[in-house]
Chains A and B, each alone.
Chain A
Amino acid sequence: MEEESDTRKINNSFLREHNYATEADIISTVEFNSSGELLATGDKGGRVVVFQREQESKSQPQRRGEYNVYSTFQSHEPEFDYLKSLEIEEKINKIKWLPQQNAAYFLLSTNDKTVKLWKISERDKRPEGYNLKDDDGRIRDPSTITSLRVPVLQPMDLMVEATARRVFSNAHMYHINSISVNSDYQTYISTDDLRVNLWNLEITDRSFNIVDIKPANMEELTEVITSAEFHPQQCHTFAYSSSKGSIRLCDMREAALCDKHCKYFEEPEDPSTRSFFSEIISSISDVKFSHNGRYLMTRDYLTVKVWDLQMENKPLETYQ
């Protein structure tokens, strides 16, 4: 543990002072888990670094609120799409934590094309005293064994391992911009520019397309999906935002394909502020439900807006 923290210190300050941070270190996404104990960051190089909040201690009360590196792993690698002769970036676009159900932590991380489910678990004990194996791992010759023993779990230095448990791929033609875990803890949605797909966390070879705004003629395309999120309590409701500054609320019970929205939130444009940039700055980059599920928060280039789900024609609050 002592060693680890020294290494950490060396890495952190060395990188900063010597400008060794490269483009791959640029952080592309950040996400706290539900308790706030863990903070996951994804970077352009496809790595995920998870930070853990410092434990409260009476001797150093001011250190609470500091986060230390907990785990680092390579989530995505760059790939090459041979069909289109394009490289698929390994940059992590979004990370979402799953609700914690046991001692291990689970998170979903995605790049442009593939979503992965990672399990992060701690190991602080190691079995020792196998009969057929040395402690080094070498196989013992059975003829040399004269007595049997029961392996015992011995404490060891804390090791945090990350393993990929599921890989959800080949479902998106366009770049994935967001993922959202459902309140049923069984499904999640992944969203690209034109489509939203519904997955079951257990099943990797199939997904359902629930929103498709691709026009029959691509030349008529004027709007893309920028983000989507499930309602925090209603597992059948989700919302998605568009590049034109509108948000649509959909109910999955209505139809298999939720192209028809239940609610449509858009603030009419003020003609006096219209400029050549109006289109670009109205594009919503992110949408989030409030914890109680009654409000929506959206962010476009210059403002943050809070919407009441009951009122579609204008936001409750606008922050500039």
Chain B
Amino acid sequence: MLGRGVKRKWSCLEELEAEARPAAAEKERDEKEGQGDEDGFLVGPSKSAMNHLQQRQLVLGLCMEKLQSYQAGMELSLRRSVLLINTLRQIQEDMQSDETGTSETLLNHTDSCLLREDMQVTCPGCTEEDGDSLSPPLSPEFPSQEANSSPDQQKSLPAAAINTFSEAVNAMGYLSDLALDDIFEDIDTSMYETSELPSAWSAGSLWPISVSLWTDEDVKMRPPSLPSAGSLQSRLMDLNELDHIMEILVQS
């Protein structure tokens, strides 16, 4: 990953596409060896689909990586964030249209795997994220600023409810209109113990903005995995929102 201010050649884009092809070819080879002859028939017709899937996964990984670079200390400009998130949304749509017909749980699992993989790769600072397997990887989480322990960034950690979530969105990089310090200044955190929240909540970032986007009324946009997210969310929304935030803060 190049640092800021370092020029990338415009052919970088072509390189990415070129990378996707050999990566797809590699994956095909591995699968062939692993699965044996009976799956040979999969290779032929699905070759182009494989490339598409591989490219999609590659782009997905890249977008996640870039979004999460925020927690590595690199400030992500609003323009970049918006472009990355729009691309992620496009990928999500693509995933959905691909997977219509397959069971919801399968997609959920696939999504979880993909995204959890990314989480492991890119969030070295994440703690126990292998908990609840159904815990939505698309939970509203935030890049945790491990390096920075300022209250401002601590607030960017998982927020359950939508409005607290949007505050967290602001803190992340979509800019804050208000100083979040003010909200939490006088709250005594000593009474809040670590609760048995799903570990995924406290794990590193994933789809920080995405989930909030998908809590819109537009049902079509929702990934199938959201029902489980929804139930969790509704449970959490029952709690006092502020209490919940504090639990998370203390937990980290």
Interface: A217 (CB within 8 A) = yes
CB pair A218–B170 under 8 Å, yes or no, is: yes
CB pair B212–A222 under 8 Å, yes or no, is: no
| A51 and B106 alpha carbons, distance in the complex (Å) | 63
- With A85-B150, A173-B175, A221-B174 given, is the CB distance from A280 to B91 under 8 Å? no
Interface segment, B32-40, B72-80, B198-206?
B72-80
Question: What 0/1 readout, one digit per residue, does chain A (220-235) give for beta carbons within 8 Å of chain B?
Answer: 1111101000000000
Closest 3 CB pairs of A and B: A219-B212, A193-B78, A276-B59
- Which residues in B have their C-beta under 8 angstroms from that of A277? 13, 16, 59, 87
| A23 and B3 alpha carbons, distance in the complex (Å) | 10
CB pair B83–A243 under 8 Å, yes or no, is: yes
Interface Cβ pair total, 8 Å cutoff: 76
Closest to B87 in A: A279
CB pair A219–B75 under 8 Å, yes or no, is: no
Question: What 0/1 readout, one digit per residue, does chain B (22-59) give for beta carbons within 8 Å of chain A?
Answer: 00000000000000000000000000000000011001
Partner of A224 from B10, B75, B79 at Cβ < 8 Å:
B79
Taking the closest CB of chain B, its distance from the CB of A192, in whole angstroms, is 8
Per the 8 Å Cβ criterion, residues 145-174 of B in contact with A are: 148, 150, 152-153, 165-166, 169-170, 174
Number of interface residues of B (CB under 8 A): 36
CB pair A174–B175 under 8 Å, yes or no, is: yes
Partner of B55 from A28, A276, A280, A302 at Cβ < 8 Å:
A276
**Which residues of chain A have a CB within 8 Å of any CB of chain B?**
23, 26, 28, 44, 83-86, 91, 173-175, 177, 193-194, 217-224, 226, 243, 276-281, 283, 301-302
Interface: B251 (CB within 8 A) = no
Closest to B77 in A: A175
| A291 and B169 alpha carbons, distance in the complex (Å) | 42
Taking the closest CB of chain B, its distance from the CB of A158, in whole angstroms, is 34
Interface: B90 (CB within 8 A) = yes
- Which residues in A have their C-beta under 8 angstroms from that of B85? 222
- Which residues in A have their C-beta under 8 angstroms from that of B175? 173-174, 218
CB pair B5–A23 under 8 Å, yes or no, is: yes
| A174 and B170 alpha carbons, distance in the complex (Å) | 12
Per the 8 Å Cβ criterion, residues 200-225 of B in contact with A are: 209, 212-213, 216
Closest to B3 in A: A23
Q: List 21 A-B contacts (CB under 8 A).
A: A26-B5, A44-B5, A83-B179, A174-B78, A218-B169, A219-B165, A219-B169, A219-B209, A219-B213, A220-B216, A222-B85, A223-B82, A226-B79, A276-B94, A277-B16, A277-B59, A279-B87, A281-B13, A283-B79, A301-B10, A301-B13
- With A85-B152, A174-B175, A283-B83 given, is the CB distance from A220 to B213 under 8 Å? yes
CB pair B174–A218 under 8 Å, yes or no, is: yes
CB pair A279–B86 under 8 Å, yes or no, is: yes
Taking the closest CB of chain A, its distance from the CB of B222, in whole angstroms, is 14
| A219 and B56 alpha carbons, distance in the complex (Å) | 24
- Which residues in A have their C-beta under 8 angstroms from that of B148? 85
Closest to B56 in A: A276
CB pair A280–B87 under 8 Å, yes or no, is: yes
Closest to B145 in A: A85
**Residue of A44, A177, A224, A301 with highest tally of chain B CB at under 10 A:** A224
Taking the closest CB of chain A, its distance from the CB of B157, in whole angstroms, is 15
| A301 and B11 alpha carbons, distance in the complex (Å) | 11
